[in-house]
Amino acid sequence: MTTAHAYAAQSATTPLAPFTFERRAPAARDVAIDILYCGVCHSDLHTARSEWGPAAYPCVPGHEIVGRVHAVGSEVSKFKVGDLVGVGCMVDSCQHCQPCKDGLEQYCDNGMTGTYDSQEQVSRVNTLGGYSDHIVVFEKFVLKISHDEKQLAAVAPLLCAGITTYSPLRQWKAGPGMKVGVVGLGGLGHMGVKIAAAMGAHVVLFTTSPGKSEDARRLGAKEVVVSRNESEMAVHRNSFDLIINTVAVSHNLDPFVQLLKLDGTLVLVGAPGTPHPSPGVFGLITKRRRIAGSMIGGIAETQEMLDFCAAHGIVSDIETIAMPKINEAYERMLKSDVKYRFVIDMATVQG
Ligand code: NAP
Ligand code: ZN
């Protein structure tokens, strides 16, 4: 066992504060990782504050982890000490159901093990995440990083924000000739814009923050629509193949459904704590439109996404923060005041 220095929430209403706990010693197929940076996802906030239902406390969030291999178990073949690696939203799954066999571990029939606020497969011990100085992970759930080491902090958000947008873009075959919308320019949204543009799609960004227009174009959007402006929205009726909605709060989906063309799909990836109002049926049946959902991506697809981003020079636009600033960062995230992902420098976890 080794002592981890971390930040944890002790209840839904207390700010995150310093916390120490014991990590398991690496087993034969485990990789021990010194965490260098960890991205701050809106899911961290939803969980720490029990917005998705009661979390287990103490809760150490963080699932956009990058770092360096510190030690490997005797049967580890993919990694060696010193390698730069990443860990995303999952650290294990049952390994024998059909989704696991198909490389879709996030949809494991027996419940994947999330990086935090989840249960280990055998021991059922609560998992503690990346707002900590090291972590021990089953090698199958560790990703190789081929970006330049200097970009490491900006690679961290790819492990959740990157894969969560990459996966539906691949599933619905975003590419040249397709008109793709991204709703919300936050952590997920800005990765969605960059990745969809790199795939060759015509990207339109929907925002509630008119001040983000210039950034959206710089990131790869060809058009920007202020979603609260009805006349700007009306121009795009019946024209989208695919819209990825990343918004973290409950809102009316109908205005976005109306923008889909025949057989178009609105994919929900944003996961608000309270449901969206039910969409109108006529918006769907009159053009055989679909509303779908998507959750992160499998391990093989996450590696594919990291390699795709390295090949296309894609990283996240980040603001690096010290660990003690995490509570301030959460408040700014709630005000959509993030450009476009906070990343914690884990060297600061011990103050
Ligand atoms: P974020 O950085 O806070 O971005 C959310 C964006 O939503 C904001 O930047 C803002 O963009 C827009 N927004 C905020 N308030 C709004 C409102 N009242 N009406 C309309 N738009 C609003 O959050 P994130 O880290 O990208 O996460 C987004 C959501 O995805 C969260 O619910 C998170 O839990 C979820 N998530 C899901 C998965 C998955 O696997 N499906 C994975 C990771 C995260 P504008 O300023 O441009 O409007
Ligand atoms: Zn996340």
In this structure, what CATH number is given to the domain that contains residue 45? 3.90.180.10
Same domain, 155 and 194: no
- Domain annotation covers residue 306: no
Count the neighbouring beta carbons within 10 Å of the beta carbon of residue 348. Answer: 13
- Give residue 316's pLDDT: 98
Whether residue 309 lies inside any domain: the answer is: no
301 in a structural domain: no
Q: Which residue out of 246, 268, 316 has the highest number of ligand 1 atoms within 8 Å of its CB and is therefore the one to mutate?
A: 246
pLDDT digits (tens, 9 = 90+) for 201-251: 999 999 999 999 999 999 999 999 999 999 999 999 999 999 999 999 999
Domain that includes residue 23, residue range: 2-160+315-348
Percent of the chain with pLDDT over 90: 100
Whether 230 and 287 share a structural domain: yes
With residues binned 3-state (H G I as helix, E B as strand, rest as coil), the percentages for the chain, rounded to 5, are: 30, 30, 40
Instruction: Clarify whether residues 103 and 55 are in a common domain.
Output: yes
Q: Examine residue 212 and state whether it is found in any structural domain, yes or no.
A: yes
Are 126 and 235 members of one domain? no
pLDDT in tens, 68-124: 999 999 999 999 999 999 999 999 999 999 999 999 999 999 999 999 999 999 999
Question: 268 and 227, same structural domain?
Answer: yes
Q: Is residue 11 part of a domain?
A: yes
> Predicted confidence band at 43 (pLDDT cuts at 50, 70, 90)?
very high
Domain count, the chain: 2
269 touches ligand 1 (CB under 6 Å): yes
In a shared domain, residues 264 and 334: no
| 332/284 same-domain check | no
Q: Pseudo-torsion of CA 73, 345, 314, 310, nearest 10°?
A: -30
Across the range 51-68, mean pLDDT stands at 98
Q: What pTM was estimated for this model as a whole?
A: 0.98
Nearest CA to ligand 1 atom 29: 270
Tell me, yes or no, whether 304 lies in a domain: no
Residue 144 and residue 242 in one domain: no
Rounded CA gap, 201 and 1, in Å?
A: 48
The minimum-distance atom of ligand 1 relative to the CA of 188 is: 26
Asked if the model's pLDDT at residue 351 lies above 90, the reply is: no
